[in-house]
Structure 1
Amino acid sequence: MAQIQESPAVTLDDVLAELLERRQEFRDQRYVSRDFVGRLKAAGVYRSATPERFGGRPLPPAEFLRMVERISVVDGSTGWVASFGSALVYLAALPVETQAELYADGPDVCFAGGLFPVQRAEPTASGFLVDGRWKFASGCMGADILGVGIPGDDTTAGKPRTALLRPEQVEIVQEWDVVGMKGTGSFDLVVDKVEVPREWTFIRGGEPTIDEPLYRYPTLAYASQVLAVVGAGVARAALDFATEVGSGRSGVTGAPKLADRAYYRTGLAEAEATMRSARAYFYEVTDEAWQTVLSGDPVAPHQNAHLRLASTHLAKTAAETVNRVIGLSGTGAIATSHPLQWLLGDALVPQQHAFLGPAMYDAAGAVLMGHPPTVPGFQ
């Protein structure tokens, strides 16, 4: 069993203060620097889903989600990268011996994956010959281990596998030109005929080999939650900005400051109420599902449906909130350099993710009425 390694005395507040100074750097270079990923590790982000038996400090989902939300208030891209600290729950499906090797140097492991499009991998005597190019590997520049998607087979019920590789086995192609989450480093991964042993592959959402509470929480629902809560942080930043600016700035025409205008006060208050309501629902169902896990019972299909529904609704509401704040903010908000334009792009991304798209409403509604989900990978 691994010895628990204490992180340096770095608090999340310390990390957020540094992030405030460096977020433009990450945006300009299009990725979060490896040394700052190290700071996130020191604050405990990347041991939050490592099994206790390997020295981790697995957090209750709501606690981890609140941490990601706080980071995202300062910078959505860094919150997005930090959110994949939860992705180690996927790796709990690896053989125990593989996990022991993975965490041999300590519990703070940063995992990033470019899982799609799934690429063919020829079976070998001991595993798979991996070859191809994958997209959207968020956080890959600071990762200790990388995953790529390969086809499943009869042993996986057709579900794709993820093959794990070390960074030196992968070429990172810095192709990432987007309007939002510019600093996530969601680059392409290229692998040139590398043999990956079967024991270094897993099924995303597969049966865990580690029996600890976090790995009994719905894996795919958690994956959607950590992304949705990034949007919530971005929306909070927009609301805070609008409140501060509205309280003290007059218009360029000499008109009354925004806080003296009824439409601004009303619109901002409605946006606060709407956003806080979606957030409350999100954390309410998270806590309910976690209490079910702690009681030793499986999370029921209707609870999983609420987790997916609350995540989709939060991401959608967050994007709408930032749009609404811009609508209230007058001509100044149209400038490309305006802070709200940064937040608008970042808020767009979570709701565009496949885990959080409009189809999730239909799937959740079906399950809540006792029917099978209408999309694959829902539970």
Structure 2
Amino acid sequence: MDPSAPESEFSRYHTPGIKRFENPAIFMDCSQLADLQRIHSLVSKFSSIMTEKRCIHPDVVDALRNSGVFRMSMPRAWGGDELNPLEQMRVIEALSEIDGSVGWCAMTGSAGGHYVSLLEDHVARSIYPGADAVVAGSLRPLGRARKVVGGWRVSGRWAMASGISHADLVVGGALIGDGSSAPTSGASELNWHCFFLPREDIEVIETRDAVGLEASGSHDYRVTDVFVPDINGFFPLGGPARPEPLYRLPWLHISTAAAAVLGIARHALGEAMRMCSSKPLTYIPSASRADLRDTVECQTAIAEAEAVLSAARCYLYDAVGQVWNAIQDGVLPSTRQKAGVRLAMAHAALAARRAVAAMHDQVGSSTALHSWPLTQALRDVHAASRHVVLHRMNLAPAGRVLLGLDPGAPMF
């Protein structure tokens, strides 16, 4: 995004783009969108430092916290904003258009309300320092947990925990052992457990060679035989412990990951249009100057990228909107509706990669430098789309549902 962009450039996130949903509350403006220009200015100021240090600058983290980004999924009873899923997607999409790493860390860090929903209220309040707490970590069962009196002994190493450097809380997934050193094989609701790990016992292992989302601070971390009280554990596939509609389908919040890749791609498209409007085709006198944008090839590529992104965005918001409407009506979303969300998410990642690659090719040798915004966007969109919830492997379970089969995958 052009650092000199006027504030009105962010207006798309304040104006509903889809109007087919019956409940107008889906598209209420939220306070998190009010500080986009300030966050953009801070990111522009500290961008090179964030890339070098491989983390989000503290001033940017503070701006995200002060704007309410980290509390947007938290219950109103806690002082959170309890934004509906589509509003959360709009916030993450907007932040990702400003910067991929910032949007990605906002996405992971704002998931606190969904962890809270899996815990009894008094337990969650004993763990969380407040509604603006930042959460990081991995739920993948890469750790090992051994039952002891009053809790668990947990060991493990987890990879690529975005935002862990500025996180208040860190979670880790583990397989439960049977009392010996060997864990129960395979992950299921019975032996896959997750834990809020003691922050002081976590060793962060810096990952300096990440390709894409470099400033997200997606480092590894590990613990060794740390004690975790019983109340700090939860089943990731368990049902919600809270009554609010937002938490009736606890894993709907993963749709914000798809919004992030769309935001990254939107940034790339805007940057490409700016570059195509100022890149001359020849070094002839200015009176006869022709820019890249004057070619049919460029015009076609821009139009195709716009269509691809806009269609993927509409599909994503439509799929999530259908599930959200069902939840608000007190109806359990159908397997087909939930599969539609996962399909729309995977499709959004594929569409974003296609659009960014096309823009990267269109601009030509200008993107050869590692530091160019379009090159950064290409790295970011590929890194983000490799996440398990966006990977193309989600297409097969969705296809199974469309064919009348069981999805054969968890969290549907």
Change (3 A) 1:159 1:316: farther
Aligned counterpart, 2:391: 357
Alpha-carbon distance change, 51 to 120 in structure 1, aligned in 2, over 3 angstroms: same
Matches within 5 A, 1:143-158: 143-152=167-176, 157-158=189-190
CA-based RMSD: 2.3
Aligned pair 1:271/2:295, yes or no? no
1:347 CA drift (Å): 0.9
Distance 1:335 1:252 in 2: 21
Q: How does 1:163-312 map to 2 (within 5 A)?
A: 163-219=195-251, 221-223=252-254, 225-251=255-281, 256-312=290-346
Q: Match of 1:318, as an amino acid?
A: A
Q: Is there any run of 5+ residues in structure 2 with no aligned partner, and where?
A: 1-30, 178-183
User: Partner letter of residue 236 of structure 1?
Assistant: R
Q: Which residue of 2 aligns with 1:40?
A: 64
Seen in structure 2, the aligned counterparts of structure 1 residues 8 and 370 have a Cα distance that, compared at 3 Å, is: closer
CA distance in 2, matches of 1:199, 1:82: 26
SS in 1 for 2:194: strand
Seen in structure 2, the aligned counterparts of structure 1 residues 366 and 197 have a Cα distance that, compared at 3 Å, is same
Q: Provide the residue aligned with 1:95 in structure 2.
A: 120
Q: Structure 1 stretch 12-21 or stretch 345-354: which is displaced more?
A: 12-21
Q: Structure 1 80/194 Cα, relative in aligned 2: closer, same or farther at 3 Å?
A: same
Q: Could you say which residue in structure 2 is the equivalent of 1:86?
A: 111
Gap regions ≥5 residues in structure 1: 1-6
Question: Secondary structure in 2 aligned to 1:150?
Answer: strand
CA contact (8 A) 1:156 1:203 kept: no
From the superposition, tell whether residues 161 and 365 of structure 1 become closer, same or farther in structure 2 (CA, over 3 Å): same
- CA gap of 1:252–1:77, structure 2 versus 1, over 3 A, is farther
Q: Equivalents in 1 of 2:36, 2:366: separation in Å?
A: 33
Query: Would you say 1:132 and 2:156 are equivalent positions?
Result: yes
Equivalences, count:
369
Give how far 1:44 is off: 0.8
Q: How far apart are the structure 1 equivalents of 2:340 and 2:34? A: 35
Residue 17 of structure 2 is matched in structure 1 by none
Q: Secondary structure at the match of 2:154?
A: strand
Q: Report the Cα distance in structure 2 between the residues aligned to 1:159 and 1:36, rounded to whole angstroms.
A: 38
Report if the CA contact (8 A) 1:72-1:230 is conserved. yes
Contact 2:346 2:390 in 1 (8 A): yes
Could you give the per-residue CA deviations for residues 85-124 of structure 1, whole angstroms, max 9, x where no partner exists?
0343033112222112234x43111110133452212111
1:10–1:42 Cα contact (<8 Å) kept: no
Counterpart Cα distance in 2 of 1:336 and 1:210: 46
Q: Given residue 334 of structure 2, which amino acid in structure 1 is its aligned partner?
A: A
Q: CA deviation at 1:338?
A: 2.4
Please report how far the alpha carbon of residue 78 of structure 1 lies from its aligned counterpart in structure 2 after TM superposition.
Answer: 0.8
| 2:52 matches 1:28 | yes
CA deviation profile, 1:243-283 (whole Å, cap 9, x unmatched):
12222321365583111111011111111111110111111
1:282 aligned partner, one-letter code: L
* Whole-Å separation in 2 of the counterparts to 1:33 and 1:202: 31
In the alignment, the residues of structure 1 paired with residue 256 and residue 112 of structure 2 have an alpha-carbon distance, to the nearest angstrom, of: 9
Q: 1:49 to 1:200 in 2, by over 3 A?
A: same
User: Structure 1 residues 34, 194: CA separation in 2 closer, same or farther (over 3 Å shift)?
Assistant: farther
Q: Is the 8 A contact 1:116 1:135 kept in 2?
A: no
Deviation readout 1:174-197 (Å, 9 max, x if unpaired): 124122010111111121221101
Percent identity over the alignment is 31
SS at match of 1:112: strand
Map of 1:3 onto structure 2: none
Gap change, CA 1:146 and 1:98, over 3 Å in 2: same
Distance in 2 (CA, whole Å) between partners of 1:338 and 1:31 is: 19
Deviation at 1:16, TM superposition (A): 2.6
Q: Separation in 2 of the partners of 1:269 and 1:120?
A: 50
Residue in structure 1 matched with residue 21 of structure 2 by the alignment: none
Matched residue, 1:114: 138
Are the structure 2 counterparts of residues 152 and 304 from structure 1 closer, same or farther at C-alpha, using a change threshold of 3 Å?
farther
Asked if 1:377 corresponds to 2:410, the answer is yes
* TM superposition shift of 1:218: 4.8
Maintained 8 Å contact 1:285/1:303? yes
Matches within 5 A, 1:51-70: 51-70=75-94
Deviation at 1:34, TM superposition (A): 3.9
Residue number in structure 2 paired with 1:333: 367
With normalisation by structure 2, the TM-score equals: 0.84
Letter in 2 for 1:277: A
